[in-house]
Amino acid sequence: MNLLIIEGSPFPVSKTEVIAEEIKSQIEQPEHKVDIVKLSEWDIPILGSGKTEDVEKLKRLAEEADAFIIGTPNYHTSFSGALKNVLDHLSTDEFEMKPVGLFCVSGGMRNTDPLTQLRLVMRGLHGLTIPTQISAADADFEKDESGHPYLYNQGVKQRISVMIDSLTELVYKVK
């Protein structure tokens, strides 16, 4: 399986990135290829203001993907503007009938509103969003001695595993 994780935080060190890396560590095996698009590291201009090499690379990775996992920080009970912009650069050509998993990280209490909104966007792109999703909150993380966050909540790690299993099963059913 070829999986593309789109990590929707515009910041270089984020809890959204921590979840994306946890997903990658749980799924990456010889038979699976996992790429992470970290929006803080990519040059993706606002739609309509030109294209960059990163936009072309994003489209190529999305076309090659068998499935997607899309993650976002929770901004005002919605997904990030940076993620919306990236999704605007993609189309049904990349998502048609491909399984999609979703996750979000909220600063305060757990909130799934961003995921509900992403489900609508995925429906518009003809992606097959799986029912299992991840909603994490600040309380699920600790900081290491250098101040970087890490996921310590075992329940969230187990739910990630369940989401991966559901996504993988659907990939092989629709292939």
Structure confidence by residue, pLDDT tens digits, 136-153: 999 999 999 999 999 999
The answer to whether the pTM exceeds 0.85 is yes
> Residue 37 and residue 71: Cα distance in Å, rounded?
10
Confidence band for 175, pLDDT divided at 50, 70 and 90: confident
CA dist., res. 89 & res. 93, Å (int): 11
Edge-to-edge order in the sheet of strand 128-137: 33-38, 2-7, 67-73, 99-106, 128-137
Dist. CA 151–CA 22, nearest whole Å:
8
Sorted by where each starts, the structural domains of the chain and their CATH numbers stand as 2-174 (3.40.50.360)
Summarised one tens digit per residue, pLDDT across range 33-79 is 999 999 999 999 999 998 899 999 999 999 999 999 999 999 999 99
Which position has the higher pLDDT, 28 or 75? 75
pLDDT of residue 109: 85
Q: Is the pLDDT of residue 8 over 90?
A: yes
108-131 pLDDT per residue, tens: 889 999 999 999 999 999 999 999
**Which two structure tokens, joined as six digits, stand for 32?**
């699976």
Above 80 in pLDDT, residue 28?
no
Please, which residues have CB within 8 angstroms of residue 79's CB and are 6 or more apart in sequence? 8, 72, 73, 104, 114, 117, 118
For residue 89, give both structure tokens. Answer: 């650069």
Kindly indicate the confidence band of residue 30, based on its pLDDT and cuts at 50, 70 and 90. confident
